[in-house]
Amino acid sequence: MLTRRQLAIGSAAMTSAGIIGRWAAEARATHFNTPLPIPRLVDAAKQGNAVSLKVAAGRHAFVHGKPASTYGYSAPVLGPVIRMRRGDEIEMTVENALDTATTVHWHGLLVPGESDGGPQQLIRPGDRWRPVLNIDQPAATLWFHPHPHHDTARQIYMGLTGMIIVDDGTDVRLGLPRTFGIDDLPLILQDRSIASDGSIEYGADGLAVVYGARGDTVIVNGVITPVAKVPAGLVRLRLLNAANAQNFVLRFSDQRIVHVIASDGGFLPAAVPVTQLTISPAERFEVLVDFANGKAVALETGPDEVMGIFGRLAPDGSSDYVPVMRFETTTKPALVKEMPRRLVELPPASQGLAIRRRQFVVNSGICMNRTQAGEHADMVALTGINGQTFDMERIDVETNLGTSEVWEVISVGLAHPFHIHGALFRILSIAGTPPPPHLAGWKDVVLVEDRAELLVAFNQPATRAHPFMYHCHILEHEEAGLMGQYVCA
Ligand code: C2O
Ligand code: CU
């Protein structure tokens, strides 16, 4: 039985020749012969807590022998992993060597609005931006990416994504896998449309405005179906969904149990066993995977259920899972074999802490069931949060520093991954029920299919000149105006 949403998606999608044809044409053989690239680690403390990034165009071959034009942070594509220690003050220098303006937003980092790198903080070509970042939050996997209004989606698609690791000593205290690139691996998951000449195809056409840009090819750290060699013990994967719109539904091909130890904002109280894990755009999870049996295994992604029958990446349109990458074990001894039972203390998330309640209706307009591509203009007019599209000149919400509020988010049209800058939250309810344990910790983005109640803690200041954003992290939805701004004083 098709739900109303699936019918709406179906009728719109079928009128566009693109979506079905492109996936059906895509029968790439899986080779797993490219080693997983590990981004360069920049350990801020080891270089006097001064870190420089150069945003520039580059060349990178997704398809062997067919280099594509890309963007990167001090790299041809993607960027370094920056390790920052809690308590440190980091002097960042960002140089823009692109021929277009950009910003750098530290997604998940708790810093004041003026250092947050939102759309107000433009770095023009040839200019430098030098924010000082005071790191004061629990250990977590964060990331950074551009945020210029109307060019965020394209710039990220071209390759601008880097990772941040905040370290507060918990890794050592708990004895977790922490040897970067060996048993502690960053996995940046994305999908891309890659043309036959190897170039990146980014077209924010009508369909992409509705569903977000979705590609036919999954890439990990910039490579199609790579292979990682890992010790035959416990390995920590820092999963980041840096896709523009695609939800990944991850599992291992042998359906082994893996343990989720952290979500966006830090560690969970205890490891949560799962066999399948949905990760929506901008979300992070850290998982521990046991490779002690020495067997090679593939990581796979399944149909994006929120897209209904059109969420399937499999070439023949079946509901099959498609391979993302492969793991093989080495003969090197495992560094970590045991998983800690308890991780960290989490305060209870109680409604009673909130001083106020607000509602956000996030509407991408597609429930209108339009069938003509030519009518997309109407849809965009319906798009917005609480009936308003993004306006850089308008402050939508005023919050008070040091307080908490309940934000109720209601999705209309599609499941929206809702993100709030400058704050962490706890999910109080999702689709009317308490969150599953792996979603019960600190978060900064949540996939809202129906509705969710969030307890948001506001502890960073933001002025009218440099407000914080909240928005749908389907980047084409963000660009179409599913974004608002708040101040905090
Ligand atoms: Cu990933 Cu407005 O952020
Ligand atoms: Cu959205």
Domain layout of the chain by residue ranges: 4-28+175-329, 41-171, 351-488
Name which residue leads in pLDDT, 26 or 111: 111
If we measure between CA atoms, which residue out of 139, 142, 143 comes closest to residue 267?
139
Q: Which ligand number lies closest to the CA of residue 360?
A: 2
Q: Which ligand number lies closest to the CA of residue 108?
A: 1
pLDDT for 55 equals 98
Q: What is the mean pLDDT of residues 353-359?
A: 95
Report which ligand 1 atom has the smallest distance to the Cα of 107: 1
Secondary structure class of 441 (helix, strand, coil): coil
Q: For residue 436, name the pLDDT band (cuts at 50, 70, 90).
A: very high
Backbone angles phi, psi at 306, to 5 degrees: -70, -15
Q: From the CB of 145, is ligand 1 less than 6 Å away? A: yes
What's the DSSP call for residue 384?
A: E
Q: From the CB of 107, is ligand 1 less than 6 Å away? A: yes
- pLDDT of 29 > 70? The answer is no
pLDDT for 316 equals 56
Q: What is the mean pLDDT of residues 448-466?
A: 97
- The CATH number of domain 4-28+175-329 is 3.30.460.20: no
pLDDT for 257 equals 98
Residues in contact with 375: Cβ distance below 8 Å, sequence separation at least 6, in sequence order: none
Report how far residue 25's alpha carbon sits from residue 428's, in angstroms, rounded to the nearest whole number.
Answer: 43
Report how far residue 353's alpha carbon sits from residue 349's, in angstroms, rounded to the nearest whole number.
Answer: 8
Secondary structure class of 477 (helix, strand, coil): helix
Secondary structure class of 347 (helix, strand, coil): coil
Q: For residue 421, name the pLDDT band (cuts at 50, 70, 90).
A: very high
If you average pLDDT over every residue of the chain, what do you get? 90
Which residues have their alpha-adjacent CB atom under 5 A from ion ligand 2?
416, 472, 474, 477
Return the percentage of the chain with pLDDT > 90, whole number: 80
Report how far residue 411's alpha carbon sits from residue 303's, in angstroms, rounded to the nearest whole number.
Answer: 20
Q: From the CB of 477, is ligand 1 less than 6 Å away? A: no
In CATH, what class is 351-488?
A: mainly beta
Q: What is the mean pLDDT of residues 286-315?
A: 82
What's the DSSP call for residue 194?
A: B
In CATH, what class is 41-171?
A: mainly beta
Q: Which residues pair with 193 in a beta bridge?
A: none
Report which ligand 1 atom has the smallest distance to the Cα of 483: 2
Torsion angle of C-alpha atoms 234, 240, 245, 249, degrees rounded to 10: 10
Closest residue by Cα to atom 1, ligand 1, is 107
Which range, 173-187, 206-220, 298-312, is most confident? 173-187
pLDDT for 319 equals 52
Helix (H) / strand (E) element for 37: namely: none
**Do the first three CATH levels of 4-28+175-329 and 351-488 match, i.e. the same topology?**
yes
- pLDDT of 263 > 80? The answer is yes
> How many angstroms does the Cα of residue 108 sit away from the middle of ligand 1?
8
- pLDDT of 360 > 80? The answer is yes
- Measure CA 406 to chain center: 23
pLDDT for 318 equals 55
Q: From the CB of 149, is ligand 1 less than 6 Å away? A: no
pLDDT for 33 equals 85
